[in-house]
Each structure stands twice: as C-alpha cells, then as structure tokens.
A and B are shown apart, each in its own frame.
Chain A
Amino acid sequence: MSRRFYFIFGIILIVLVASLFQLKHQVVILEKKLSQNQLMITKEKEALKVLKAEWSYLSNPNRIEALSKNFLNLEIVNIKQIGDIEKIPFYIQKNIEEIK
C-alpha cells in the first residue's frame, strides 16, 4: 500500500511542479509581451500626436488659401450665392407637368 501511495504522490508532485514551472514561464512571456505592447502603444501615441500636429499645420487656413489660389479656380463665398431653397424654381418638374 505504501509503495502505491508514494508512487501516486510522486506523480502528483512531478505534475504539479511541471505545471507550476510552465505557468511561471507563460507568465513571464506574457509580461514581456505586455510591456512590449505598451511600449508600442506609447510610440504609436507619440506618432499620432506628431501626425495630428502635422495635419493641423498642413491644413492651416493660410496654407490652404495659398494652395487654392494657385491650383483651384475657386473664390471666397459671396453672400449673393446664399439663398433660400424656396426661391429655386423647379423648372424640370414644371416642364414635365406641361408635357403631361
């Protein structure tokens, strides 16, 4: 009886020790990954900040105005161009009705 008892106990011991080591190993790997990811997130955040600043710089109205003057045939909106939707005559609809 005692031999069987020792045998079983020994096996349990080995399994436990092995799984404990395995666990510890996994935890270490995960922790490494975690800190790596966290580092990457910080770096991405930094890059994002730089890109945001760059976007704000590149889209500043002064530059856009200069670019539009050089490359586009656009002008500043005139008040005369703003009107009411009711004032638009719907010719197409009228024509269709006349045809009918």
Chain B
Amino acid sequence: MKQKNLKNNLDNLEKKIIDLSQVRLVVIFGIFTILFLTLFLRSVDLILLNNKSNEFSKSILPPTSKKNRVDIYDRNNVLLATNVKSASIYANPKEILNKTEVSKKLSRVLGDQEYSELKKKLTSNSSFVWIKRQVSPKEHFEVNKLGIPGINFQEEIRRVFPQGSLLSHVIGSVGVDNEGLSGIEKKLNNQITSSERPLKISIDSSVQHALKRELSLAMEKFKAIGSAGVIMNVNNGEIISLISLPDFNPNIKGKPSDDAAFSRVTLGNYEMGSTFKPFTVAAALQHNIINLKDGYDATKPLKVSRFIIRDDHPKSRWLSVPEIFKYSSNIGMAQMARDLGVEKQKKFLEKLGILDSSKIEISEVGKPIIPKIWREINSMTISYGHGIAVNLLQVANAYAILVNGGKKISPTLLLEKNQIPPNNIKVEKVISEDTSRKIRGLLRLTVMSGTAKKADIPGYEVGGKTGTAEKPSGGGYNKDSIITSFVGVFPMDKPQYVVAIMLDEPKGIKETHFYRSAGWTAAPTVGNVISRIGPLLRVLPAKEKKYWKNFEATYISVKANE
C-alpha cells in the first residue's frame, strides 16, 4: 500500500513535471516562432519591398545645393551666362604671425590687391576678413601653393559670362552675391533664380559681334564718343542684336564707369532729328491728309510765331511729298504736321509706342521726354524730330511697325514670347497695308537717290532715313556736338529686319570732305552692317527689283514736276 502510494506520488510528480515541461516547451516554441516570423517578415521586406532602403540611401546623400541662377543661351544655343564653382580667399588675422611678409606674398600673387590694402585687412582685429572673392583657378592655385596658415578658401558659385563684353548691355551683370545688377539679370531676376529651364534669348551672338565690330570701327573712324545700334525682326519684334558703346566686361567685379554702364539704346533719350519724319508722313497718308502726288512750298524758311524753320539741304522750290522725304525738308514736314493737327499726330505716335517707355526685358529703360503741353509749334518741330527725346529702340520698333504692313509689335528679348500669332488672333493694325507700302517706297527712295545713298547695298534693297540733330546744352543747342542716326530696313520688297544705329558726336574726316551729317557717317555704317549680317541672317539677295519699279511707276513723277 505504501509502495503503491509512493508509486502514485511518483506518477503524480512525473505528470506534473511533464506538464511543466510541456508548458515551457510551448512558451519557448511560441517565442521562437515569433522571432522567426519577425526575421522572415524582415527579410521579405528587404528582398521584395525594397522601397524603404531606397529612401534610406536618399537620406544619406548630401542635400541638393541651393538654387542657382539658370544658364542663359542665345537663339543658336551659344552659352551666354553660366555658373561655375570658384574659390574665395579669406583669412583669420589672428592666426597669421608675420603679417608684413604674408601681405607682400599675397600682393605678388593677386595682381589687383595692393600691399598696403592687404596689410590693413590682415592687421584688423576681427577673426574673419575676405581677401578676395571668387578668384580664378590660377590665383587659387598660386595662393594655395604659398601655403600660409590662416589663409583659407571657401567654395562659392560664380556667375561667368563667357562672351565677355559682347552682351554687357543685354544680359547685364551680377554682384558678388549673385544678385542681378543690370540688364536681363536684374529685370528677370525672379525668373532666373526660380526657373528650372535655361533662359533662351532672341539675340544672335554672331550678328551681335558683327554690329559691335562695325559700330566700333565707325566710332574710331569718326572719333565719336559713343554709339548704339539695334537690329530687330520687323514681324515679331525679336531683337537680334543690341549694342551700346562703350561697354564693360561683366566678368570683372566692381562698378563699371558711368559712361560704360549707360545704355545708349534703351536708357538714353535723344532728339532724333529727321529720323522722325516717316512717322508724320505715315500719319498724314493714313488719315488721307495728303497723297504722294501732293506737295508743299519750300521756297523760303517758314516763320511760325518766333521760330524760323529752315532746311538743311534747301531746294528753294515747291517739293512733292517724295521729294520732301528724300531731301529731308523741314519746311515741308512742318506744313504737313500743321495740316495733320496736334491730336492726330499725338495719337499716331502713341500707337507707334513712341510716347511710352518700351516694355523690354532690360532693367535700364528710359522714359521718353515729351512736351507737357502739345501746341501746334511742338507738333511742327516734332514732325522733324525736335522737341521730343526718345530712345533708339523705340524708333526701331516704330519703323518695324511702319514697314511690316502696320502690325503692332513690341520689342522683346525672349525667344518663347512674341511668336507670330496664329491667324485667328487679330493683330492690332496701326496703319494700312497700302500706307505701309508707300512708306517702304519712300524709305527706298531716300537710299536710292536721297540723303542716304551710302547705305545702298546692291542685292539687298535697303531703305531708310537719316537723322542729324544737335545735342541740347544749356538752354539751346550745341552746334559742335551732334547725334547722327540712320534707321535702315532690308530687304525692302519684303522687309525682315530693321537696323537702327546712332553715333554720338561724330566728327567730319577727310574722306567725308569733313561732313559729319548722318548721310556721311551713320548711313555708310548701316550699309556695312547690312552687307555683313545679311548672309548671317540667311537673307537672300533679291533676284529682281520688281517692287521698286512698280513704286516708281505709280507714285514718283519727280521729273515731270520739275
């Protein structure tokens, strides 16, 4: 019994132990199952759902560098402005022991830094001074080679303009901290700093070079103090070239001289002189005040209140409208303006964009100087370009409207904008097709047999108008300093481009028999420009002069009048 009891006890114990171990087994098994499951799930996650690791790898990469200014290209994809990495040199004066020696060494390597200036910087009390911002790779290397403790480099992004001074008045420049200072860089600063796509502008840099070359040659030849030129597509207002001389190199930090920074194309307002005459003639033709067979008496100077209007090339006889135009008669023009009336003239000039500042993508744009009270005498002087000061770009734009069939356009430097609008959109017309054709004929006539013979380029039917004006000084005009301008259009049978140039204070030379008027200075320059840029712009020489013959037969009967 006792034994049985013992056995029973043992059995009981065994049962208990087995129960316990089973429980333990289940617990351990459960734990392992959970662990394995986690492992399994994790490996599945790593192998199949790889996204997480991608995110991880992204997060360890350096954050994308802060937004830079976008590159600028011309219409042929020539790089005009870009960013490159560059080093800036700074010093911790407290770490520099031999300050005299170090300043000597540095001034030898950095060409534009004076020894005394450097020493002043290095002896200052702060622990950080800039030695030079955005140095060239060569300077970086040289200074690095000196191995001076306390002189360090900081990597910076530098804006470079590989074309140098070629587009200084178009693109402008940026400051040391890459903020736009002038030109497109300033006007479109927001777009340039925030856009993703590079900016494409309408300038053609080879044409730009050709215009700059011819202008600087003309400046040298006639000893002018400045010049300006603009080439524009007459059909959509795209500016192909825009030059103002003297100019500056935007790669050189520091303020250019006032004269070099001044844009004579967009900022400078000038009394243009006779270059204004087509506007009055177009207005008079458009309002049917005159037709081309009419004329005015130009026998003697015209007296209007206390003013006397004279002719520069007096013919002293009755002149037909084409003659008034080609001989540039102020007397005839003044009478035409009187017949036209103040209001009509004002409205017409407004439509041509003469009275408002041009809306071009450059920060330097001048506001035209127009008379506050527009009396009849103002209207008469404005008819031949005096008593109103505008910039060359406005004149070029107005000519483009006159010759393109009257379509209203406005100048632009952007390639995307101002594409020729589709046919269903109605373009505002300033003058009729017929008036435009007549103006084209008159412009051609001036080059064929008028004041601008020297602008004629065989092959391209150039048309245009000269303008010579004395510069205002004090209360009156200075006879010694003049502005000569010429606005040319080519090819005349189907105008494509307008070329407007201006020379500031040209002097007469032996070759021009000491004449300095526009016909001797500005007109031949435009002729040279056109013969050079025509092939570049793929303008084919005209095969026949059909257009001109028609015009002559229809309107010009000069011989019969004489």
A interface residues (Cβ-Cβ under 8 A, vs B)? 9, 12-13, 16-17, 19-20, 23-24, 27, 31, 34-35, 38, 46, 49-50, 52-57, 59-62, 65, 76-80, 82, 84
The stretch of B42-50, B357-365, B409-417 in contact with A is B42-50
Which residues 192-227 of B have a CB within 8 angstroms of A?
A: 205-206, 208-210, 213
Complex: how many Å from CA A31 to CA B213? 55
The stretch of B6-14, B99-107, B145-153, B534-542 in contact with A is B534-542
Which 9 A-B pairs have CB atoms at the shortest separation, nearest pair first? A61-B209, A56-B162, A56-B79, A57-B162, A79-B459, A77-B535, A31-B57, A53-B162, A53-B82
Would B57 and A34 count as touching, CB distance under 8 A? yes
Which residues 113-164 of B have a CB within 8 angstroms of A?
A: 160, 162-164
Would B60 and A49 count as touching, CB distance under 8 A? no
Would B82 and A35 count as touching, CB distance under 8 A? no
Please give the distance in Å from B69's CB to the nearest CB on chain A: 12
* CB nearest to B33 among chain A residues: A9
- Within 8 Å of chain A (Cβ to Cβ): is B401? no
Q: A19-B43, A62-B166 are in contact. Are A80 and B459 (CB under 8 A)?
A: yes
Would B209 and A46 count as touching, CB distance under 8 A? no
* CB nearest to A50 among chain B residues: B84
19 A-B pairs with CB atoms under 8 Å apart are A16-B43, A27-B53, A31-B60, A34-B57, A46-B85, A50-B85, A53-B84, A57-B162, A60-B162, A60-B209, A61-B206, A61-B209, A62-B166, A62-B209, A65-B209, A79-B459, A79-B534, A82-B541, A84-B543
Please give the distance in Å from A37's CB to the nearest CB on chain B: 11
Query: Which one of B163, B208, B213, B460 contacts A79 once the chains associate, using CB atoms below 8 Å?
Result: B460
User: CB-CB < 8 A to A31: which residues of B?
Assistant: 53, 56-57, 60
- Within 8 Å of chain A (Cβ to Cβ): is B418? no
Would B36 and A60 count as touching, CB distance under 8 A? no
Most buried by B among A9, A13, A34, A79: A79
Complex: how many Å from CA A17 to CA B459? 86
User: CB-CB < 8 A to A12: which residues of B?
Assistant: 36
- Within 8 Å of chain A (Cβ to Cβ): is B302? no
Please give the distance in Å from B51's CB to the nearest CB on chain A: 13
- Within 8 Å of chain A (Cβ to Cβ): is B96? no
Q: A61-B205, A79-B457, A79-B458 are in contact. Are A56 and B43 (CB under 8 A)?
A: no
Would A56 and B39 count as touching, CB distance under 8 A? no
* CB nearest to A61 among chain B residues: B209
Please give the distance in Å from B301's CB to the nearest CB on chain A: 42
B interface residues (Cβ-Cβ under 8 A, vs A)? 32, 36, 39-40, 42-43, 46-47, 53, 56-57, 60-61, 78-80, 82-85, 160, 162-164, 166, 205-206, 208-210, 213, 457-460, 531-532, 534-535, 540-541, 543
Complex: how many Å from CA A35 to CA B532? 52
Would A49 and B164 count as touching, CB distance under 8 A? no
Query: Which one of A9, A16, A38 contacts B61 once the chains associate, using CB atoms below 8 Å?
Result: A38
Would A60 and B534 count as touching, CB distance under 8 A? no
Would B39 and A23 count as touching, CB distance under 8 A? no
User: CB-CB < 8 A to B53: which residues of A?
Assistant: 27, 31
Q: A23-B47, A56-B78 are in contact. Are A49 and B39 (CB under 8 A)?
A: no
Please give the distance in Å from B383's CB to the nearest CB on chain A: 35
Q: A31-B60, A35-B57 are in contact. Are A23 and B46 (CB under 8 A)?
A: yes
Q: A23-B46, A79-B459 are in contact. Are A52 and B166 (CB under 8 A)?
A: no
Query: Which one of A20, A52, A79 contacts B531 once the chains associate, using CB atoms below 8 Å?
Result: A79
User: CB-CB < 8 A to A53: which residues of B?
Assistant: 79, 82, 84, 160, 162
Complex: how many Å from CA A46 to CA B157? 11
User: CB-CB < 8 A to A13: which residues of B?
Assistant: 36, 39
Please give the distance in Å from A32's CB to the nearest CB on chain B: 9
Q: A27-B53, A60-B162, A60-B164 are in contact. Are A79 and B535 (CB under 8 A)?
A: yes
Complex: how many Å from CA A48 to CA B208? 26
Complex: how many Å from CA A49 to CA B159? 11
User: CB-CB < 8 A to B80: which residues of A?
Assistant: 56
* CB nearest to A31 among chain B residues: B57
Complex: how many Å from CA A52 to CA B85? 13
Complex: how many Å from CA A57 to CA B163? 6
Would B164 and A27 count as touching, CB distance under 8 A? no
User: CB-CB < 8 A to B42: which residues of A?
Assistant: 20
* CB nearest to B458 among chain A residues: A79
User: CB-CB < 8 A to B83: which residues of A?
Assistant: 49
Complex: how many Å from CA A57 to CA B46? 51
Please give the distance in Å from B140's CB to the nearest CB on chain A: 13
Complex: how many Å from CA A9 to CA B37? 12
Would A23 and B82 count as touching, CB distance under 8 A? no
Would B60 and A35 count as touching, CB distance under 8 A? yes
Would B79 and A17 count as touching, CB distance under 8 A? no
User: CB-CB < 8 A to B206: which residues of A?
Assistant: 61
* CB nearest to A27 among chain B residues: B53
User: CB-CB < 8 A to A34: which residues of B?
Assistant: 57
Please give the distance in Å from A84's CB to the nearest CB on chain B: 7
User: CB-CB < 8 A to A49: which residues of B?
Assistant: 82-84
Q: A23-B46, A53-B82 are in contact. Are A60 and B166 (CB under 8 A)?
A: yes
Complex: how many Å from CA A54 to CA B460? 37
* CB nearest to A19 among chain B residues: B43
User: CB-CB < 8 A to A38: which residues of B?
Assistant: 61
* CB nearest to B531 among chain A residues: A79
Complex: how many Å from CA A55 to CA B78? 9
Please give the distance in Å from A19's CB to the nearest CB on chain B: 7
Complex: how many Å from CA A24 to CA B80? 48
